[in-house]
Structure 1
Amino acid sequence: MLKTAFSHYINNFKGFTREIWILAIVTFINRAGTMVLPFLSKYLKEDLQFTYNQVGWIMVAFGFGSMLGSWLGGKLSDKIGFYKIMVFSLFTSGVSLFFIQYITTFWALCAAMFVLMTIADMFRPAMFVSLGAYAKPENRTRALTLVRLAVNLGFAAGPALGGLIIMGMGYSGLFWIDGASCIIAISIFALLVKEKKKVVHDDKIESAGESNSVFHDKIFWVFLFVSFITAMIFFQLFTTLPLYHQEKFNLTAFQSGLLMMLNGLLIFALEMPTVGFMERKGFPKIKIIIVGSFVMASSFFLLLINVWAGILVISMICISIGEILTFPFSNAFALSRAPRGQEGRYMALYTMSFSLAHIISSKVSFEIITRHGYQINWFFMASIGVIATLCCVWIKKALAKEKMS
């Protein structure tokens, strides 16, 4: 029985091209090396002695750089090709990390973080477009999921390695190793993967008319709003929830870490088999996103039951299931929606919705918590999750009309 289940699990990882596996390995190396990010606010506060207000503004510059980088990366991927953008982005951001440790004044760091993230986040939309070129049409959602899995595993390994490096080498060690990991990752990619033009597939059933600009694609803009809302809800996992664990239920950092680990384990164990099953059965992507966004909203309604610590586990399971159903198929929907030659622009706007959510999520939540408490914040997050679900239902109906016309 166990052997059969393991065999089925492994089968979900079969059928990928060599390039997709190399891309996943490169993504893992890059994300495992991204050790600066989890410790950035700590470094700014403890090492550079900035105030909380100054740290906040540096993080805002970080977020806006991410948004600009996402847009440029997508636009330039359509103009000059995803391969050149990927190589430029990772190599240049790797070299930049070597030098950024020597910048210690407030305004210079705001500018440096903005420029660094503009260069670094050009990589993300270009990488999504590369999956359209290197993955087989029938494997594309699973290929996106494989890369997401590599990102999650890299993020899981990064903070632990980062903590060890800080203990042994100090914060400067983080910048050296993070920069080196970017350069090593993209060097492996450039050596082992040849540049390939985007292959036009005839599987874009959900695509808009080819002559349409992304700015005229109403369905896609409503979808971007859904992506922004679900990302806002999801980012609570890293901002308000760890504080809530301690303030309401007196959980230790270790116990809170175990809850976060539950999310990572569920993603690792269930995401690829779920996506593989949904792909084989041919479920429409938007229907899966409807269910995922509703489950994610439900996880925050559950948090309103604040008299039993066990509800945190049930809520975390719901958030994880919502993440499994929402994000891989959102990635795939955005890519399939793009008309020929506009994949970069579409994926740029998609990744920008996450960058914007990252900037706004914690700001809005902490403001609500300060004025009205955690319960109102959970109710707000759950309510906007329901709005996102209703928007998905509208998208489903609009797609049906589009196909008939």
Structure 2
Amino acid sequence: MKRLFNIYINTFRGLSKEVWWLALITLINRAGTMVIPFLSLYLKESLNFSMSDVGWIMSAFGLGSVAGSWLGGRLTDKIGYYKVMVYSLLLTGALFIGLQFLNTFESICAGIFFVMLVADSFRPAMFVALNAYSKPENKVRSLTLIRLAINLGFSAGPAIGGIIIVGLGYGGLFWVDGITCILASIVLLNVLHPKKAKELDVVKNEHPVSAYSDMSFLIFLVAMMLFGIVFLQYFSTITIYYKDVHTLTELQIGLLLGLNGFLIFIFEMPLIKWLENTRYTKLGLMFFGAFLTGLSLLVLNLTSWSGVLIIGMLLMTIGEMIAFPFSNAFAVERARKGNQGEYMALYSISFSIAHIFGHNMGLQMSNQLGFENTWYIISAIAAICAIILLGLNRKLKVLKNLNANAS
């Protein structure tokens, strides 16, 4: 047991102090995002919106995310990642607190849009900061540590969120989310100030390559958008499925979603450390992650037994643990030859576009076609994503061999 513990601890060695601070800030911030998994339930149960209305509101969520990711990338290249992160966290906190006071369809659409516009400007800046504060050989593990913080926050967040809903109602979620964002900005100002932080891998290109001309990267982004559509069902459609089909309470839903974050916290870093030493490419591993995530929804149609929800969550968790760290690392690697903010903004936008279509698609299909047909269709999308990743992996292998032969 002691040997296993030492192996686990060793997977964290060598990461810079700044990366650890970034992870702590992310943990504080994400612990408060308990609103997001419950947003569709809040809109349906508390504000009595129809499934169709909830779908369109979630599309406004996605549009704000697209705009915020693009804006964050532009601002990061213009004014630097630090200022973008600070202002994003502060303003997001204030906007989340205000969001609870909106109750009409139009005002909530506008409110959700502006919250996500500000909130998701943080993501490109954070990726560029992580790239700067991490040694080249530690990129994947640094990204995994940040994901660990995100998922530990998500693990605690939904579980705490379910308790808050029972005790204080949905309004309490908005206050906690807003306050934690503001706390994260205060920690950032105090521990990660540019004068205190040491950049370890700053990339400056005199003639940067435009991300828009990198065809392989654009194909990769299409695959990530499709993966995002599949994955995001766990943040909107699935919670309603848990409640309506399997009659789970908000607390049970929170605990089930929390299981995902807990498992990632325990197993992701050792898994990534092991996978890094295998012969598989980043894209090859992403293919496997996409396959498992699609399978996690497909198995829900096999039985009405509620235990299948745990099996589905386990499959999705393993798929997520593999797909996200290596997709992050692939994007950071490609970004080194261009404007990093632009590359990482497009990477974030691929998931933001998934927010536009993924939530709405899942909710509208489940309303019109039923959950069973929805899971079949979403699983087919996961299969298309996996095929694209497999094809891109083969293409890049051929290009690599041609370049090796030419030199």
For the criterion TM > 0.5, the same-fold answer is yes
Provide closer, same or farther for how the CA distance between residues 169 and 215 of structure 1 changes in structure 2, counting only shifts above 3 A.
same
CA displacement 1:206-264 (0-9 Å, x = unmatched): xxx96532111111111111111112112222333344456555666666555434433
Per mean C-alpha deviation after superposition, the further-off stretch among 14-23 and 312-321 is: 312-321
Aligned to 2:5: 6
Aligned to 1:18: 17
Q: Offset at 1:33?
A: 2.3
Aligned to 1:147: 146
Alignment check: 8 A CA contact 1:210 1:339 kept: no
Alignment check: 8 A CA contact 1:130 1:198 kept: no
**Whole-angstrom CA distance in 1 between matches of 2:371 and 2:102:** 37
Q: Offset at 1:53?
A: 5.5
Aligned to 1:361: 358
CA displacement 1:38-72 (0-9 Å, x = unmatched): 45455556666666655544433232111100111
Aligned to 2:115: 116
Structure 2 residue 386 is matched with structure 1 residue 389:
yes
Aligned to 1:205: none
1:93-104 equivalences in 2 (<5 Å): 93-103=92-102
TM score, norm. by length of structure 1: 0.86
Provide closer, same or farther for how the CA distance between residues 338 and 56 of structure 1 changes in structure 2, counting only shifts above 3 A.
same
For the aligned residues, what is the CA RMSD? 3.1
Structure 2 residue 347 is matched with structure 1 residue 350:
yes
1:275 aligns with one of 254, 272, 276: 272
Alignment check: 8 A CA contact 1:16 1:135 kept: yes
Structure 2 residue 33 is matched with structure 1 residue 34:
yes
Alignment check: 8 A CA contact 2:93 2:178 kept: yes
CA displacement 1:346-382 (0-9 Å, x = unmatched): 1111112222222322322333334443333222222
CA displacement 1:145-179 (0-9 Å, x = unmatched): 11111111112222444455556666555444433
5+ residue gaps, structure 2, are none
Provide closer, same or farther for how the CA distance between residues 5 and 327 of structure 1 changes in structure 2, counting only shifts above 3 A.
same
**Whole-angstrom CA distance in 2 between matches of 1:90 and 1:311:** 38
**Whole-angstrom CA distance in 2 between matches of 1:154 and 1:242:** 18
Number of aligned positions between the proteins: 399
Aligned to 1:131: 130
Amino acid at match of 2:201: V
Aligned to 2:318: 321
* Percent of aligned positions that are identical: 46
Per mean C-alpha deviation after superposition, the further-off stretch among 330-339 and 253-262 is: 253-262
Provide closer, same or farther for how the CA distance between residues 340 and 176 of structure 1 changes in structure 2, counting only shifts above 3 A.
same
Q: Offset at 1:112?
A: 3.2
Aligned to 1:191: 190
Structure 2 residue 211 is matched with structure 1 residue 214:
yes
Alignment check: 8 A CA contact 2:59 2:355 kept: no
Provide closer, same or farther for how the CA distance between residues 50 and 304 of structure 1 changes in structure 2, counting only shifts above 3 A.
closer
**Whole-angstrom CA distance in 2 between matches of 1:243 and 1:45:** 9
Q: Offset at 1:294?
A: 2.1
5+ residue gaps, structure 1, are 203-208
Q: Offset at 1:31?
A: 1.3
Amino acid at match of 1:199: D
CA displacement 1:260-299 (0-9 Å, x = unmatched): 3443332222111011122344742112112222222333
Alignment check: 8 A CA contact 2:209 2:337 kept: no
Partner of 1:14: helix, strand, or coil? coil
**Whole-angstrom CA distance in 1 between matches of 2:104 and 2:298:** 43
Aligned to 1:68: 67
TM score, norm. by length of structure 2: 0.86
**Whole-angstrom CA distance in 1 between matches of 2:88 and 2:15:** 25
Q: Offset at 1:85?
A: 0.7
Amino acid at match of 1:347: M
